[in-house]
Structure 1
């Protein structure tokens, strides 16, 4: 009887060990192993990203190697690195097509130093944390000494502006508060920065309201007798999402906030704009 019992015990032990060996092993997280010693790969969601095809340095442009470079381009790379659950796939298209594509859902989001305004907020979802700023200034002829602030433009003519440009909102808001003596600013369907600076240089218009670094880059090529008369605003710029992408926008906000707090975006601003845009406007001085 003792021999039979001993055999039974041995058999039971072998069966138990066999059963244990056939059950899925677990990694340190407690998740079942795939059998190859690795946990199951997390699902990665592909994001369709609209990117401006028109060079707009220093936000985005092609370098000597025909690679996209610039402040916004580097910001998107940082997001892609810090959001492992997403993979970015870019399509370079015209500015207006970017807006239409995001609204329709063809693209998940677009980043092109967009400003906020009520019309856009009705169509798109905006992030809650700005990823940078646009430093805007008045450009005048070198011999003009009568324009030092936006108030000095009352009754004077700005170069025509596209209704879709964010800076148009600055002028509209100003004129609402100063209806008795507004800034003269015509609307135009399309205009280039080169055309605008040439109009100011010719004396056709008094000033050009534009992003400071855009002017620097354009006039570095044209070399017109123009100067920055005054820094006017430091406008926050935002990522613009399709209305259905609330979870995506929330994740962008988390990462963007961290990039600001750890100094990454301020350093990137110094690299491309030669100034920390995250400081107050009064700390940004004319050279």
Structure 2
């Protein structure tokens, strides 16, 4: 009888232990589930080079792409996926949350700020006016009026295109002759070189990169005066993030600061531009 009672007691203890183990396992599974990585999809237009482009191995690369990957190496809670998309569809994709990040050397403007979130700056920018050598048309670039009546070319959605559109809208009687084009930047620069258009307003780092590669017969003059102030109220580019992803922005900003502080951002800048365009943070 005593033996039977001992066996029953042992069975009861075993049952309790199994129950505790099962509950523990269930709790562990719940914790692991809570720590499951979240997939973040970033979209890029795949140009302009060297900020974002497709290399000879058909892989997306460039300054912005390498910087984005360096940021997400510090964010194991996310799985980063990068897709190439038509430039204009990046914005509709962000609005629908098909994409959570837009990465394409984006500047801020009022319209974008109404519809999307922005990270801290990823790149400190500057602009130049590019024109054919010996041209007298764009020698002085201290104000928009210095470019009035001159012809230029650009793609939709680009920072400089947006700025010229805003100027033309505000000054309908003193417009810049703007021509939309889907050509790549190298082709646009050739059209300035051969005299098809008078000037091109563009990022200085990008011009330096293309000039080094193609040796165009062109000159570049830094914007100054009121034009610099109006064109560059915030001389930076950013990652754009879809609405209601404030936690993602916070995580990116923390990792971005680490990437800048440890020198990874500088290394990427030197690789593509030979100069460090990393922003500084207080």
Return the TM-score normalized by structure 2: 0.75
Q: 1:90 to 1:32 in 2, by over 3 A?
A: same
**Contact (CA 8 Å) 1:51, 1:90: kept in 2 or not?**
yes
Q: Which runs of 5+ in 1 are unaligned?
A: 281-287
**Contact (CA 8 Å) 2:151, 2:198: kept in 1 or not?**
yes
- 1 CA distance for matches of 2:174 and 2:141? 14
1:164 aligns with 2:157: yes
Deviation readout 1:98-155 (Å, 9 max, x if unpaired): 1111112221221111111111122x32224111133321112222476254438615
Alignment of 1:57-206 (within 5 A): 57-122=49-114, 124-144=115-135, 147=139, 149-151=141-143, 154-156=146-148, 157-162=150-155, 164-171=157-164, 184-188=176-180, 190-206=182-198
Pairwise CA RMSD: 3.8
Return the TM-score normalized by structure 1: 0.73
Q: Which runs of 5+ in 2 are unaligned?
A: none
Q: 1:220 to 1:69 in 2, by over 3 A?
A: same
**Contact (CA 8 Å) 1:155, 1:181: kept in 2 or not?**
no
**Contact (CA 8 Å) 2:48, 2:184: kept in 1 or not?**
no
Q: 1:173 to 1:278 in 2, by over 3 A?
A: farther
- 1 CA distance for matches of 2:155 and 2:249? 28
Deviation, 1:174, is 6.7
Q: Which moved more, 1:257-266 or 1:141-150?
A: 141-150
- 1 CA distance for matches of 2:279 and 2:106? 19
**Contact (CA 8 Å) 1:159, 1:185: kept in 2 or not?**
yes
Aligned length: 267
Which has the larger helix fraction?
2
Corresponding residue to 2:36 among 36, 43, 46: 43
Q: Which moved more, 1:252-261 or 1:149-158?
A: 149-158
